[in-house]
Structure 1
Amino acid sequence: MRLVDLSHPVEAGMQVFPGDPPVDSRLAASVPRDGFQVAALHLGTHSGTHVDAPLHTVDGGSPVDELDLSRLVGTARIVHVPDLQEHEVVRWEHVRAQLADVRAGTIVLFRTGWSRHFGSPRYLAHPVLHVEVAEHLLSAGVRVLGVDTLNPDRTPDDASAGPLELPVHAAVLGAGGAIIENLTNLHAVDWQDPLLSALPLRLRGLDGSPVRAVAMQL
């Protein structure tokens, strides 16, 4: 079996969505003092590589512990959209050819290469998906999509400015689907249609969870 880890390391001070809780950790027990080590961890539900549940943007939507896990383990289609500029919009015409034969239940991942900017201010100026891309995928029976950016929608410089416009979230999560964000290493998957696993923690009643996203070739 071949494995490629598609997840960013979770560590104190890592980049998060503007205004989200910062990631922090500290030792609560140590081997010299206590005979074992335990760390206290503070982070938001959307830290690092993570999955959005419908509750993230849909009032009364399903929480992450009620996601159908079978949707988050399965065949993935990696769509390559290179050489994008800051805030560039990916439209259906740009990806149609790579998705012409996509099947219902496929997990569609967009490889922009923007993950190389993770941790820098430029990461916030990532490309975005036009909502028509999400609508076409939903019509084809796709219910989970992932991006190697912070957000399939535009990320504002200041998230406290008011309600966000999140059309891709509204479409996918509104249809009961899920969105995987902050993927990395998609370039290392050099075979077609890998098996993907991106399972969340079973956080009861919450809106999302970090995942350990892994591409596999059996």
Structure 2
Amino acid sequence: MCLIDISEPLRAGVAGWPGDTPFSFTLNWTKEETGSVNVGKVIFSTHTGTHIDAPFHFDNEGQKVHELDLSLYVGPCRVIHLFDLPSIGAHDLAKYNLAGVERLIIRTDSWKDRSVFPTSFTYIRPDLGSYLQKQGIRLLGLDVPSVDLPDSKELLGHHSLHQHGVHILEGTVLYQVEEGDYELIALPLPIEGADGSLVRAVLRKI
């Protein structure tokens, strides 16, 4: 089985949202101290690296991570390339036949330096939510840290997708991924009450 890992490696200094909890891993106990095992401690934001947004992230009445349907994050998906666009809306997807596609991942290559949190990247226009719903798409994945720009307070992309039943996967690493059909596995952690979760996201060529 050939799996393509599309997850951001988690390490000290991984680019995170400005002001959010930085990622850290330390050994709480060492084998020398315990005589038997090493035991680590991890501190991170729920939106570190490759992650899913639960609707509760931007809607107090929205589902939390432990309430999400896991089938959203496992199954056939389509990867397409949309390069050199400041934003993506319905018009940009019109040329694609998305019949039967439930999970769509868009490679934009607009996050040029993954070691630094970007000030600008390709974002989602509000008309995309309705279009994706009409196509039957339930999950949208992107290679950027958010479907909205960092300075957005209205979060029009998030709300448009949510209102049309489209869930969100952000921060995927797609530099080596070609267009085509794959199987996606990107399961969130079962964190009760959470607004989002890190995932180990992989693709398998169909």
Q: Please, what TM-score do these two structures have when normalized by structure 1? A: 0.87
The structural deviation recorded for 1:60 is 1.6
Q: What corresponds to 1:70 in structure 2?
A: 71
Structure 2 unpaired stretches of 5+: none
Counterpart for residue 163 of structure 2: 174
Q: Using the alignment, how far apart are the partners of 2:48 and 2:26 within structure 1?
A: 17
The answer to whether structure 1 residue 210 and structure 2 residue 172 are counterparts is no
Q: Partner letter of residue 169 of structure 2? A: I
Secondary structure in structure 2 of the residue aligned to 1:55: helix
Describe the SS at the equivalent of 1:74. strand
Q: Hey, what's the Cα distance between the residues in 2 that align with 1:101 and 1:40?
A: 43
Query: Which residue does 2:93 correspond to in 1?
Result: 95
Q: Does 1:17 align with 2:17?
A: yes
Decide whether aligned partners of structure 1 residues 191 and 136 sit closer, same or farther in structure 2, where only a CA change above 3 A counts.
closer
Cross-structure match for 2:150: 155
Distance 1:101 1:116, change over 3 A: same
**Whole-angstrom distance in 1 between the partners of 2:126 and 2:49:** 24
Contact 1:25 1:39 in 2 (8 A): yes
- The alpha-carbon distance between structure 1 residues 101 and 175, as it changes in their structure 2 partners (threshold 3 A), is closer
Q: Structure 1 unaligned segments of length 5 or more: list them.
A: 157-162
Structure 1 moving runs of 4+ over 4 Å? none
In the TM superposition, 1:130-145 aligns within 5 A as 130-145=125-140
Matched with 1:55 is: 56
- 1:127 has 2:115 as partner: no
* Cα displacement string for residues 109-133 of structure 1 (whole angstroms, at most 9, x for unaligned residues): 1101134421225x23111121212
Does residue 1:200 correspond to 2:175, yes or no?
Answer: no
In 2, Cα distance between the equivalents of 1:204 and 1:191?
35
> RMSD across aligned C-alpha pairs, in angstroms?
1.8
Q: Which residue of 1 aligns with 2:176?
A: 188
Output one character per residue of 1:28-71: Cα deviation in whole Å (capped at 9) or x when no partner. 01112212111111111111100001111111211111110111
- Relative to the length of structure 2, the TM-score reads 0.91
Do structure 1's residue 146 and structure 2's residue 141 form an aligned pair? yes
Counterpart of 2:156 in structure 1: which amino acid? Answer: P
Percent of aligned pairs with the same amino acid: 32
Distance in 1 separating the partners of 2:115 and 2:181 = 29
More helix per residue? 1
